[in-house]
Structure formats: C-alpha cells, structure tokens
Chain A
C-alpha cells in the first residue's frame, strides 16, 4: 500500500518533468526541420511558469473547473498506469479527461472554441474504437485486462500485435494533435479556427492545459512501452522512436479535413487492428 502510494507520487511528480522536456525536444527538433534554431529545451517550463503568473481572466465562472477536471483525470489515468491497473478503465478515464476539456470549451459562448470542441469530439469518435480494440487485442494474449499481466508475458506483445501497434501509432498522432490531425486546435493562432478548443482559455488555465498535455504524452508513451515490456528499456526506446516518428509526420503533413480523418482512421486504424485481432481469434 505504502509502496503503491510512493510509486504514484513519484510518477505524478516525474511525469510532467519528462513530458515537458520531451515537448522541449519536440520544439527544438521541429525548429531544426524548418531550418530555424529553436528555443532552449527547457523553454516549455519557462512558458508554463509565465502562464501561471498571469492574472486570472475567464469568460464565465465555470471554465476553471473543467480545466481542473482535465488535469485531475489525466493524473488519475497516469496513476492507473503506474499501478498497473485495468487498461480498459485507463482508456475510459483518459477519455473523461478529454471530455472535460471539450465541455470546458463548449461552456463559453464562443464560436471558435465551440467548433474546436466539436472537432475534438469527432476525433474521439474516430480514435476511441481503435483504443478499445487495442485493449481487446492485448487481452487476447494476456487473458487479463490488468496492465500487470503484460509484464509477466514471455514474449513481447509487439511480435503478436504488430498491426494493433501500428493502429495505436496512428491514434497517437490524433491524440497529440499533430498534423495531419491538428484541426481541433493548433500551435498557430492565425488560421480559420483561431486556436480552436483552447481559444477562450488564458493564463493559469492554459498553463494547466499544457501541464495535462505533458501527462497525456507520458501516458501514451507509457502505453507504447507495454508493447515491449520485457526488458522495459527496449520499450522505452521504442516509445521515444515512435515520438520521433510523430514529429516527422507532423512536419511533413498538411492538415486534413475531419471527414477525411474519420474515414481514414476507421479504415486504417480499425481495419488493421481488426485484422490483427481476427488473426488471433483464428489461431486461438
């Protein structure tokens, strides 16, 4: 029990630090891709503390509560991950975190943030089935929904679930809001959507959203490591490699429409995960 609490506390503190550093590396690498020099790696932390120090401004009274929900449920998902609990529950809790942000964006009378929220919802619609199928794929091998069971497998999941892994990478692009799927919000506030989902959040609210993003990043990379859990360092390398691939994809792709995304994700994501899982059924 004490041990579990300790693990949870360490994870909750360490995750944003690693997540922040990773997004610092992201910005640096992206700058290099674009022939720019880029900010220092710890720039995300400077940004974060600057945002925290800004005055409280909001459009209505309730916004901040949704932002807290966004953060707290991401932390809950992280705790589920490090305590090796039910993976399916983790997916649902993580979805709740996103839903909180969507509701926060919808809670204000702002066209840009509302449209961003609707688009985020479409994203959820397209990736949620893939995530659930991924969990089923893992269950078929481990016969358990607990993350713990993954670690007691003899051979890595990746060998038997290559297509599910691919589907998850695909979803990762959407979850991280990278191009070509960055239409709910983007890093550049000068497009048709302004800043979409996050248009009406400012100062400390934005800081918390950024913090949650780091947690999300760690949770998603953590799920990737599950595909190669023994030895864990290989899994971590694979996760970092996957993140690098995401950066490259982000930089070489243009933004797509949501219709395209829905079709493509269901076809490629659910299609490949489905084929993989059917293969497992046939073998079983």
Chain B
C-alpha cells in the first residue's frame, strides 16, 4: 500500500515533468502527441486511484518524509535557487528592474533561510485530504483534456502565424509540466516546498503567456510575472514569520492553530500575507489585470490558467488556511474582499464585448466568490467554496476551449461577431451554450453555489449585498452573450462543422464532465466535500446535505430542512426542453417561416431578414448590437475606483492582523 502510494505520488508529480522533457527534447509532432495522450491517460488513472485510496483510508493519506526514497528537501533547496535565478535571468533579458528587485527580495531570504539556518522539515511530507483530492481531480482530469485539445489547436494556430520554426516543443513542455507542479503544490504538507511549486507555477504561466513573443504578449507576461512575484515575496516573508512564531512549517499544524495555540503575535500577520499571495495568484482586484492580459496567449493556456491550474492555486491556499482564520476579524475582511471582487468583476463584465475578456472577468468574479465563502467560514460557505472550485474549473475550461474553437472558425473573439454562429458551427456552439448556461442557470452547479453563498452570508450584511449585486450582474452579461450566440434565421438542416479529432473529443469530454458534476452534486458532496468541511472543525447551526433525491439541502441543528432544492427534478425539465428543442428544429418547415418584422420594408425573397429598404430605396443592412452600458459599467470608468477600493480592503486586512 505504502509503496503503491509513493509510486502514484511520483507519477502525479514527476510523470508530467518527464513528459514535458520528452516533448522538449524529441522535436517530432507524432512523438509529442503520443506522449501527451499517454500522459493524459495515466493522469486519469492516477486521479481514479487517489480517489479510491483516499476513500478507503478514511480521508487522509499521509507520507512521511523519511519514507521518500531520497532527500527531497535538499533537492528543492537547490531548485529554489535555480528557479529564482531563472526568473532573474528573464528580468535581466527583458530589462525589467522591478522583476529583478522582486526576485532578489525572494532570493536573499530563501538563501538565508534554506542554507544558513537549520530548519527542521515537517515529519509528514505529503498529506492528501479531500480538498487536495478535489484539486488533484481537477488538475489531472481537466488539465490533460486541455493538453489534448492543444494538439489540434496549436497546429492550426501555427498554421495561421506562418512560423518558420515550430515553437510547440517548448509550449507543450511548459503546458504539461505545469500539471505536475500543481499536483505537487496541492499535496505537499511542507510550506517551504509549497512555496517552490508556487513559484514554479508563476514561471510556467509567465512562459506560456509570453509564448507568441510579440510586443503585447511580452508586456502582459511581464505584468503577470511581477504581480505574482509580489505574491511570492509575501509568501516567503510569511514562511519566515510563521517559523519564528510557531517553529513549524507543517501546513497541517499551521491551519490547526486554534487548537494548538492562539491567533496572536506575528502569526496572524503571516496568515494575512499568505492570503495576500493567494489574492495575487487568483487575480483578485487590484491584481486582476494580469489575468486579463493573459488572454493574449493561445487559447489552451487561458483554459489551463483559468480552470485547473494557477488561479486555483490561489484559492486553494485561501481555502486551505480557512481553519486558521475561522471566525476572526481577518476572516470577515477576506469575505469582504472576495465579495467586492465578485461584484466588481461581474459589473465590468457587462461592458465587455470581447468573449475572452468576459470569461476572464467571470473567472475573477467566481474566484472572488470562492475566497468570500472561505472568509465567511461557516459550514455552508466552506462547502460552497469547494463546490465552486469544481464547477467553475470544469465549466470555465470548457468555455475557453469553445471560444478558442469558434475564434479559429470565424476569425474573431468578439461576441458581436458570434451572431448566427449556430448555423456555421452547431457542434461547438451547442456545447458552448450549455457551458455558458452551466455558469448561471438553475439547476447547474455554479448557480447552486451562488444560492448557497447568499444563504451562508446572511450574517454579514455588506458581504451579502455585494453578492446579491454580483449575482444580478452575472445574469446580465451571460444572457446577453447566450442570446446573441443563439440568434439564427431559418436553415433547413444544420451541418456539423469539421474539427480536428483532438478538439471535438476534448470538447465532448469536458461537456460530459460538466453534466456529470452538476447532476451528481449530491453524491459528490457527500463523498468528497462534506468530510472535508467536517475536518475543518466548523461548529455550526446549519449543515449542508446531499439528499437521496439528488438534491442539496440545508439542515438546521434540530433536523429541520431550512433550504435547498431537488436538483435532479429541475434537470428533468431541462431534459424535456432539450428534446423539445430538437423536435422543433426538425419539425419547422419552410412554409411556416416568416420574415422578422421590419416595418413592412423587408426586401423581397430575403427570408432571413438581413436587409430592409432604407432611405432612397436602397437596401440597408439590419444591424442590432447588444447593450454594453459603457456609461455605467465601462472598464475605463470603473477600474481605477474599484482598484482603489480593493487596495483599501487589503490595507484593512493587514490592519486587522496588526493589532
């Protein structure tokens, strides 16, 4: 059993690294594709095995440091230095003093701490609990699917760019290697190891954003780098403080502080710093601009950054630390900051017509909601936070892949250009619409977590109001988009578009993933999330339950049901509607179809209503755009003030831990 776990652990972290190396060294597309597919299948297997083992061992797999075959701590020490030197090298190469400064600010404490002080490593090197498992499942299932999608996408992408020399080896190296670093990050119990993997993801995302190496991608990559490095500086500072305050670097012991010791001295400040690091990585206001800039990279990168890796590391850390700040002032400020980002990002998303920007703002908003829930810290909220990590990861991964496919199909990522895309690319469009619906409509998961967030936040009026506004904004920008995409005139038969197999299969797989997690919310909650929330030692009056009816219910301490609904029954209605949609698609015939109303000035024989007889008897095009409310929700109008507000909240966060 123990050695089997070790093998799995090695596979989860080192196999992606090995695949990455092969992708880079053997510059042959057939080999590369083979490696990516094998890597995918093995990671699926690992995800399955970890789930099985974790349930069999009652929710905790622990691996002692001395059980590892070699001294990992010693290796990571040198890799730490190597990593920072690499980042510093990019700082010199691109002549960015800020990056060099931030690197030095980390390098000095790292060397002092790792080489000149004798720090006892925690006895337990790796701890896998349900929270880690949820992340492992995301990283090892959604991540690899995205890498498979990238096979077809990058071929087309480089074809468009007319590159002389392919850059795919490096691209796939970073893309696949990223997964290994993320797996290690969520499994490790050693805070200083976590710091190493944390910075690896920073470097990976920098390299991926920079991939196309034009002016704008370099600029945005540098921005992503310095913002995340500032989080890294906070992280290393927090490690030093925690070590001084508690004398341990074991994540387990740190989060159990309420039990093992008080929330006093340097320690709260260190927790605040770690949350700050989480905020930068999760692109919370005022650090949202790096994630928005990241969309210059090829689509698989955005999909990966937004769904299973990178930003999820940030929320993972904040949720992981939740027991440490549970019920403190710090928790309340974190909830406030998260809710603020949720409302702010959702508001700006209304004004965006670029599909990827809408998705990016929606990601930022959802991450804000996850952080908010972690900060609220009651039973329902923590359950909702972990649920949202899952739902958001799967749906957002799918949506980015769909937008990327449509972009390659119609040559635009502007939502306005997607009008009528249903007729050109029905397969992708239908999947995208289901993906978008899963972000806002009942009975899909994201909406359920919003519901739970509202039900959890009733004790914090300001947080609650922000969530309520955010929820209303969310509806507006999604519905505008879905409505436009589904706009179509009559077409007798929809013909499926031709897509590369890697693209169509990964879209299909992720769609199945979305449906499975949304329909299986009750068993998933009972099996994976409820034990985790219990392990957080939250004593609360209201608990969350997955019901036998496939629903999700809130139960008060006296056994009364105080909220929730039967999720599956709403899916039945949706199923009926889907069948109805197919029925009407088939049934409607040409002689039932009329032109849209254009004040009687339709052009003859134009059944689609694309033109009308305009002034001077000339044919004029019918053009209707969506409303974007630039005057109210415009990015330029709001960003400055929202950033200032968010900075004030972060100052407040440090204010409450200083006392």
Measured CB to CB, the residues of A under 8 A from B are 55-65, 68-69, 72-73, 76, 80, 85-86, 88-89, 92-93, 95-96, 99, 102-103, 105-115, 117-118, 121-122, 124-125, 128-129, 132-133, 135-136, 139-140, 143-146, 149, 194, 199-200, 274, 277-278, 281
Contact = CB atoms under 8 A, between A and B. Distances in A.
Contacts of B564: 86, 89, 145
A68 B577 contact: yes
A135 B465 CA distance: 12
A62 B587 CA distance: 10
A99 B479 contact: yes
B107 to A, nearest CB: 48
A125 B483 CA distance: 16
A129 B472 contact: yes
Contacts of A132: 454, 468, 471-472
A103 B479 contact: yes
29 contacts: A56-B588, A57-B593, A59-B596, A60-B489, A60-B593, A61-B491, A65-B577, A65-B580, A92-B451, A103-B483, A106-B484, A107-B487, A109-B420, A109-B488, A110-B609, A112-B597, A118-B480, A122-B476, A124-B476, A125-B472, A128-B472, A128-B475, A132-B472, A133-B465, A133-B468, A136-B458, A144-B556, A145-B562, A146-B561
B577 A69 contact: yes
A99 B561 CA distance: 29
Contacts of A55: 592
A229 B484 CA distance: 42
Interface in B583-616: 584-585, 587-588, 592-598, 608-610
Interface stretch (B200-208, B298-306, B622-630): B622-630
A77 B650 CA distance: 41
Contacts of A99: 441, 475, 479
B469 A129 contact: yes
Given A89-B565, A110-B598, A136-B468, 19 more contacts: A56-B588, A57-B592, A59-B489, A59-B596, A60-B488, A65-B577, A65-B580, A88-B454, A103-B483, A109-B419, A109-B487, A109-B609, A112-B597, A124-B475, A133-B465, A139-B458, A144-B563, A200-B597, A281-B461
Contacts of A103: 479, 482-483, 486
A136 B462 CA distance: 12
A62 B554 contact: no
Contacts of B608: 109
A73 B556 CA distance: 28
B447 interface: yes
Given A56-B592, A99-B441, A106-B487, A146 B482 contact: no
Contacts of A113: 596-597
Contacts of B576: 72
Interface residues of B, number: 62
B486 A143 contact: no
Nearest to B419: A109
A107 B483 contact: yes
B490 A61 contact: yes
A129 B563 contact: no
Nearest to A110: B596
Interface string B478-500: 01101110111111000000000
Nearest to B574: A69
B593 A58 contact: yes
Nearest to B478: A99
Given A76-B570, A92-B447, A132-B468, A62 B486 contact: yes
Contacts of A278: 461
B581 interface: yes
Given A62-B486, A109-B608, A144-B560, A199 B597 contact: yes
Contacts of A92: 442, 447, 451
A59 B461 contact: no
B161 interface: no
A136 B491 CA distance: 46
A274 B442 contact: no
A114 B596 CA distance: 11
A95 B588 CA distance: 28
A106 B447 CA distance: 22
B627 A95 contact: no
Pick the 10 closest A-B CB pairs, nearest first: A106-B483, A145-B563, A110-B596, A144-B562, A65-B581, A128-B472, A61-B588, A89-B565, A132-B468, A114-B624
A146 B458 CA distance: 15
B271 to A, nearest CB: 28
Contacts of B622: 109, 111
A102 B481 CA distance: 12
A133 B461 CA distance: 10
B565 A80 contact: yes
B479 to A, nearest CB: 5
A146 B595 contact: no
Interface in B604-650: 608-610, 622, 624, 626-627
Nearest to B457: A136
Nearest to A113: B596
Contacts of A111: 598, 622, 624
A224 B282 CA distance: 42
Nearest to A90: B565
A115 B584 contact: no
A89 B442 contact: yes
Contacts of B483: 102-103, 105-107, 117
B407 interface: no
Nearest to B584: A64
B565 A108 contact: no
Contacts of A108: 487, 489, 596, 609
B442 A72 contact: no
B373 interface: no
B56 interface: no
B111 to A, nearest CB: 52
B360 to A, nearest CB: 21
A121 B577 contact: no
Nearest to B472: A128
A82 B597 CA distance: 40
A60 to B, nearest CB: 5
B221 to A, nearest CB: 36
A118 B628 CA distance: 10
Contacts of B626: 118
Contacts of A61: 488, 490-491, 584-585, 587-588
B237 interface: no
Contacts of B581: 62, 65
B441 A96 contact: yes
B212 interface: no
Nearest to A55: B592
A23 B472 CA distance: 29
